[in-house]
Amino acid sequence: METFYQSWRTSAHNKVDCVECHFEPGISGTIRGKLNGLVQIVNYVSMSYKKRKPWAEIPDNTCARSGCHEKQALQDSTYNFKGVMFNHKNHLQELRRGKTLKCTSCHSQIVQGTHMEVTEATCFNCHFKKSDDPEHKFDKLVDCNTCHSWKNKSKEEMASFRYDHTLVAKNDISCTSCHTNTILGNGEVGKERCFQCHFENEKLEKYGDIEFMHNTHIKKHSMKCFVCHTPIQHKVQKIDPNSPSDCISCHSNSHSSQVNLYIQVKADLMWKKLRV
């Protein structure tokens, strides 16, 4: 608990009482919150935490209460998140992969020392996780311009030479033709992740029922994605300084005859190739 308290003290919410977020608005929300708190005190005193992990939830209606983060205001505003222009509308109004997102689906505490912040890893877990469902198939992996502008990287120093992205962009060449292995991990959920919270066989038997899992953990309890899903990394791999800075990687056959002539291939072989 100390970790969460200290991160709250240094956050933008440090003037907001804990119950303002963790208790739903209204008398019924306050009563329910106090009862849940009482249950957790009993679990702590009786050492029942060995069987049931303590939890704290933040319902959407506490975030969207008057004077805080009202949904209409969020939908009317655009934010610059690490160079990416972002609007909440697409995430609040539409089903994403057939699921309703909560505020805490993105705003969570997965990094120690931060409180309810969005990390890049949270974005990657949805935007780079492939789906087998044809209705929710996500194929934006080659659409790098959604976040990265080639105009800002028109001329870039690479290894021992300078590279100009302008011609690549004009010829509509995929970024992944050169930038490979930019995505590491698959966001899968191993069954061992269930044991972080559950020990009951009747609950563990539900592993594999994806619809039930998401309805229970996201819709009913606002769980954070990374409690279950392994993280996905997205980054540009460093160029090997020993890699050849020539054209052969992409243009292997365009000037093969001239290359052979330069390296002094026998004349009869060269003549046959030139005639062809």
2 pLDDT band, cuts 50/70/90, is confident
pLDDT tens-digit series, residues 246-257:
666 666 666 666
46 pLDDT band, cuts 50/70/90, is confident
pLDDT tens-digit series, residues 91-150:
877 666 667 778 888 887 655 556 677 888 888 888 887 766 655 555 454 467 777 766
pLDDT tens-digit series, residues 145-178:
777 766 666 566 665 667 777 777 777 777 777 7
Residue by residue, DSSP assigns the chain as -HHHHHHHHTSTTTTS-HHHHHS-SSHHHHHHHHHHHHHHHHHHHTTGGGTS-------HHHHTSTTS--HHHHHT-EEEETTEEEETHHHHHS-BTTB---HHHHSB--STT-SSB--HHHHHHHHT---S-GGG----TT-GGGT--GGGGSEEEETTEEEE-HHHHHTT--GGGT--S-EE------GGGGGGT---HHHHTTTT-HHHHHIIIIIIT---GGGTSPP-EE-PPPPPTTS--SSTTT-SSTTHHHHHHHTT--HHHHHHHHH-
